[in-house]
Structure 1
Amino acid sequence: MGNKESVKPVKRHFEYHNHLLDDATKEMNEWTGENKVVEIHLFSMFSEVFKHHDLDDAETLFIVGTKETTPSLEAVSSAPVKPWLFSRVFAVLGASFVLLALLFLGFRSNNAVPGMIFIGSLTVPFSLMIMFFEINVFRNISVYQLMAVFLVGGILSLVATMILYSLIPSGNGVSWESALIVGFIEETAKMLVIAFFVNRFHLNYIFNGLLIGAAIGAGFAVFETAGYTGQYGLVTLLMRSWQAIGTHTIWSAIMGAAIILAKDRHEPVTGGNMVAPKFLRFYLLAILLHSGWDWNAPFDVLDILYLQQWALIAIGWLAIFVLINAGLREVRTLQGQRILKNSQLGG
């Protein structure tokens, strides 16, 4: 009896958190236009990471986005996405950083430091960008386009940020008011660049928005981390590297998907789209996530094991999973519309 009674509080605790997760995904999913709970299956989604894949598998994933390699709508997969290549990219970059660190520590070679800063800044954001590249089931963005967005878009977003900082006083960046202004400035700067590339490449799908946003956010993160490391040292690099799993790359991916949700299909992004509820909700979420990250909260408990950061990372990824679900739903809807149209024409 004692064991059964002790299990009940644990069960209730689990059910409470499961209910909380369902409520959160349902609320965010309503922002995308569907009033349903989104089930998140992490082990299933990342199951391919632990399986063997040869070089041909990797090269096949990269050979996309050209006229010959972009699939028709009918050939696009609506099955749950299962990215894996990003983990190999992460392993290569991580191993490169370790080798450079050994070179620095073993031979006291300062020549290794620039490489450590570059590779360390690159590892997590770039790997995340590759993950979003993999899950773009439309396969309509090439590696060349992606790298252009990553490099040029990342730098343009920094330029836009500096312009906005020169126009809007931001304070010290750690009080809640200042953190909110910083979040607004940086996310708005990235949003403007994302919208530019969405129009530049005539993109129309949620997965496209996720990828373009992630690429610009990753570029921003890499250059920002490298800059901060140059100022404050390698400890900053290590801290910002692991934290990059839940910062600029996913915040920008959220905004990229939101831009696609708000705009009319096959039409360019306009100012009117920027005030649409479908965009504003996710845009404000990105700003709040960024602001919460920068805010020096007056609660000591949040400093324990970086609870503040982990909570914000969890919320950000929750939004990403909801948007991935919306992207797959979009594929099924478009394919259904195409089948209906073809049947009507055939009739």
Structure 2
Amino acid sequence: MNQTWTPTGPARRRRPWLRIFLTGLVLWIATVVVIFATGSPTLLPTLVLLGSFLVPVTFVSWAFGRRATDEVTPELLMTTFLAGGVLGVLAASALESYLLRPSAWLFLGVGLIEEAVKLAALAFLTRHLTRKTVRDGMVLGAAVGFGFAALESAGYAFVALFTTQGLSVVQVVQTEILRGLLAPVGHGLWTAILGGVLFSPSTREHFRVGGRLLLAYLGVSVLHALWDSMHAIALLLTLVLTAGGTGQLSASGGIVAPTAQQAALEPVLEWGGLAVVSAVGLGWLVGLWRSTQRRPAPEVGWRVPIRPPR
């Protein structure tokens, strides 16, 4: 009689990423409550760091459980997350300050620079791997991207803290919630795609920069640019659809005296555009991931059938 054994208790597959997320979420909420209750400014760094790193660390932990080889160790994952994120942020800030100026191509320039520095950081930190598989490239690419996203979110949260009326904890909380919700379809997603393409074809020892990687880099950079510019795109589309191409934009990035129709249409277009960009990126990622699950073609040759003993 055939029996199926089902692991129970400690043998059951654990989900460390879920424990990380729930523990971090409880600590972040507790920090928010204590800050509002006591008004202590010494807890603000804790609030910024917890809120900025919670979602990125959770997704890196989730991705680690889907690595293809044992060469992706926790030490390597932590190195790519922290060092890759820091190198990416520093290089991007330096290049953007020297190379970019306000223009119609600003967002595309940001996308090209940030995706290039993240890709370079990933290649540098993983150059000594003896076996480079597509899955491991996606996992390590996600680590670099989420490290970049965590540090970037911390910067945005820190900036949101300072207002003309003084320190604003409410704006920090709002910024961290919004960026936490959007983090899975941002930097981590884009660099995971680049990492998978960089490491393909599977089991190579050395990186190969070719047309496929260049096209992937340009495609991801365009998705990045569309994501960053979606607010401006939504504003322009709103003016075109509601005023026949006429209207006036304010210096703060909005419509001067918007009508009720414009006020309702603009966020729909913006969030709809972000959803489309996210769907394209996720579809690309899933397709790349599934390409690693295809079975190899059957071998051609003679096979001798083996008969079971009578």
Give the structure-1-normalised TM-score: 0.66
CA distance in 2 between counterparts of 1:168 and 1:55 reads 54
User: After superposition, what is the alpha-carbon deviation per residue over 1:298-347, rounded to whole angstroms, capped at 9, x for unaligned?
Assistant: 22345227222222222211112112101222xx43xx79x99xx9xxxx
| Count of residue pairs brought into register by the alignment | 254
Deviation of the 1:55 alpha carbon: 6.1
Instruction: Among all aligned residue pairs of Structure 1 and Structure 2, give the percentage whose two residues are the same amino acid.
Output: 24
Match of 1:209 in 2: 137
Cα offset, 1:122, TM superposition: 0.8
- Offset, 1:268: 1.7
Alignment partner of 1:123 is 2:123: no
Q: Are positions 1:192 and 2:120 aligned together?
A: yes
Match of 1:269 in 2: 207
* Counterpart for residue 315 of structure 1: 280
Question: Residues 167-178 of structure 1: matches in 2 within 5 Å?
Answer: 167-171=98-102, 175=104, 177-178=105-106
Q: In structure 2, what is the Cα distance between the partners aligned to 1:280 and 1:53? A: 47
Aligned to 2:267: 303
The separation in 2 between residues aligned to 1:94 and 1:290, in whole angstroms, is 28
Q: What's the counterpart of residue 159 of structure 1? A: 90
Residues 61-106 of structure 1: CA distance to partner in whole angstroms, max 9, x if unpaired? Answer: xxxxxxxxxxxxxxxxxxxxxxx54333222222221111111122
* Equivalences for residues 49-68 of structure 1 within 5 A: none
Paired amino acid for 2:176: L
Contact 1:218–1:248 under 8 Å retained in 2: yes
Q: Where in structure 2 are there 5+ consecutive unaligned residues?
A: 1-6, 162-171, 239-264, 304-310
Alignment correspondent of 1:114 = 45
Contact 1:258 1:283 in 2 (8 A): no
Distance 2:87 2:8 in 1: 36
SS at match of 1:200: coil
**C-alpha displacement at 1:167, in angstroms?**
4.3
Number of the residue aligned with 2:198: 259
Q: How many Å apart are 1:109 and its aligned residue?
A: 2.5
Output the CA distance in 2 between the equivalents of 1:156 and 1:203.
24
Q: In 2 relative to 1, CA 167–85 (structure 1 residues): closer, same or farther, beyond 3 Å? A: same
Once the two structures are TM-superposed, the CA of residue 139 in structure 1 deviates from its matched residue by: 3.8
What residue in structure 2 maps to residue 90 of structure 1? 21
For residue 49 of structure 2, what is the amino acid of its counterpart? Answer: F
Gap runs ≥5 in structure 1 = 1-51, 60-83
1:325 matched to 2:290? yes
Residue 203 of structure 1: how far off its partner (Å): 4.1
CA contact 2:67–2:135 (8 Å) conserved in 1: yes
Separation in structure 2 between the aligned mates of residue 306 and residue 130 of structure 1, nearest angstrom: 28
Alpha-carbon offset, residue 164 of structure 1: 2.4
Contact preservation (8 Å) 1:164, 1:189: no
Larger % of helix: which? 1
Local SS of the residue matching 2:55 = helix
Q: What's the CA shift for 1:136?
A: 1.3
